[in-house]
Amino acid sequence: MSGNDETVSEPVGFIGLGNMGAPIAERLAAWPGGLIVSDVRPDATIDGARRAESPAEIASAATVIGITVLNDEQVRTVVTGPDGILASARPGTVVVIHSTIGPHTAVDLEAVCAAKGVAVLDAPVSGGAQGAKEGRLAIMVGGDRDAYLRIKSPYALVSDMLIHAGPVGSGTKMKLARNLLHFISFTATTEASRLAEAAGIDLVKLGKVVRHTDAITGGAGAIMLRDTTAPIARDDFWYDVFDHVRGLGEKDLGLALDLGDELGVDLPLTALALERFADGLGVGKDDK
C-alpha cells in the first residue's frame, strides 16, 4: 500500500479504543482514506473517524484492520466471533494485532484466517501511549512479508520504527524479550534504590542522574550490538569492547556488594549479575 496506490482511498479499520488503542487510532485518523473504529463501549470514538457497531461492519469496508484489545480471548472474539472480522472480511484483508498475546494465538488465528484469504500479523508495540501520540511507536511485526509491506504506509502515521520480525508469532516473541529486559531492569532499580536509601542518598536526585546518563549511553540497549550470544573469540573486534565493559561492570558490581554488606542491604540481583556478567557478555569468567 504505497502513498500513490489506489488503495490510499480505502479506509483503515481499528478495533479497541482503550488507553493504548485510542492514541494509535487518533494518529490513523489522518489516513487519506479515512478511519472506521469500533469499541465495546458505545460512547467510545475518535474525532474524524466513522464509528462501526461491530468488527464485521469494519471488515465490510476496510482491508487493513488494527486490533488493540485486552487479551487473547478478546482478540479471538474480535476475529472469529459471530460479529467478528471473518464474518465479512474480503480476501486480501490484513488483520494487525497490537495486543500482547501468546505467540501461539496469532499462529492459530493465521491458520483460521488463511482459509478465507485473510492475513494475520502479530504486531505488538513498544513506546507507550506517549509514543503513540507522537507517532514514535516501535512496532514489531510477525507474519507474511507482503502483508507487512501493505501496512507500512498507514502505520507510518503511528510508528517511526516498523520492524518485520519474521513469521507470524515473531512480533510477540520480540516484544516479550524486549519487555523481559524492561521489567527485570525495574526490579534492579528497586534494588539499587534500597542500597542508595540505606546509604542516605536522595532517591529523586539519583533518578535524575540515571535518566540523564541513560539518555546519553543508551542504557541496557547500548550493549545489544552483536547478532549472536555466542562466546566471543579473542581475535574478534568485539572481544576488547566487551572485555572493557566486563572490567568496569565487575569492579562496580563488586563495590556495590561491599557497600551492601556494610549497610546490611541484601542485593541478590547484584550478586547474580556479578556471577553471570562475563559469561553473559561472551568474554567468559575464566578468560583472564
Q: How many CA atoms lie within 13 A of 208 on its CB side?
A: 5
pLDDT band at 1 (very low <50, low <70, confident <90, very high): very low
Contact 181, 222 (CB under 8 A): no
Would 210 be classed as within a structural domain? no
Is 16:69 a contact under the CB 8 Å cutoff? Answer: yes
Tell me the CATH number at 37.
3.40.50.720
Contacts of 127 (CB under 8 A, 6+ apart): 136, 137, 138
Confidence of residue 9 (pLDDT cuts 50, 70, 90): confident
At residue 286 the predicted structure's pLDDT band, cuts being 50, 70 and 90, is low
Contact 64, 154 (CB under 8 A): yes
Q: What is the CATH number of the domain that holds 275?
A: 1.10.1040.10
Q: For residue 6, is pLDDT > 90?
A: no
pLDDT in tens, 34-79: 999 999 998 999 999 999 999 999 999 999 999 999 999 999 999 9
The SS3 assignment for 164 reads strand
Place of cell 583472564: 288
pTM, two decimals, is 0.87
- pLDDT of res. 93: 97
State the residue for C-alpha cell 479506509. 11
Query: 62-73 b/e with 16+ CB inside 10 Å = b?
Result: bbbbbbbbeebe
Inform me whether the pLDDT recorded for 256 exceeds 50.
yes
With cut-offs at 50, 70 and 90, classify the pLDDT of residue 288. very low
Same domain, 100 and 243: no
Q: Does the pLDDT of residue 287 top 60, yes or no? A: no
Give per-residue pLDDT as tens, 108-161: 999 999 999 999 999 999 999 999 999 999 999 999 999 999 999 999 999 999
Classified as helix, coil or strand, 28 is helix
Question: Tell me, what DSSP letter sits at residue 22?
Answer: H
Structural domain total, the chain? 2
* Domain match, 125 and 264 both: no
Mean pLDDT throughout 224-236? 93
* Banded pLDDT at 285 (limits 50, 70, 90): low
Taking residue 234's Cβ as centre, other Cβ atoms within 10 Å add up to: 11
Domain range holding 284?
Answer: 225-288
* DSSP H stretches of helix in 53-164: 55-59, 72-80, 103-114, 128-133, 145-155
Find residue 67's DSSP bridge partners. Answer: 15, 97
Q: Which pLDDT value is given to residue 102?
A: 87
Q: Which has the minimum average pLDDT: 184-198, 239-253, 272-286?
A: 272-286
Domain assignment present for 53: yes
56 shares its domain with 147: yes
First to last CA, the chain: 55
Q: 156 in a domain, yes or no? A: yes
Active site residues: 175
Do 131 and 233 share a structural domain? no
pLDDT at 103 > cutoff 60: yes
Give me 130's grid cell: 506517549
Percent of the chain as helix, strand, coil, to the nearest 5:
50, 15, 35
139: β partners: 125, 162
| 3-state class (DSSP) for residue 236 | coil
| Grid coordinates given for 185 | 531492569
Q: Are residues 129 and 13 in the same domain?
A: yes
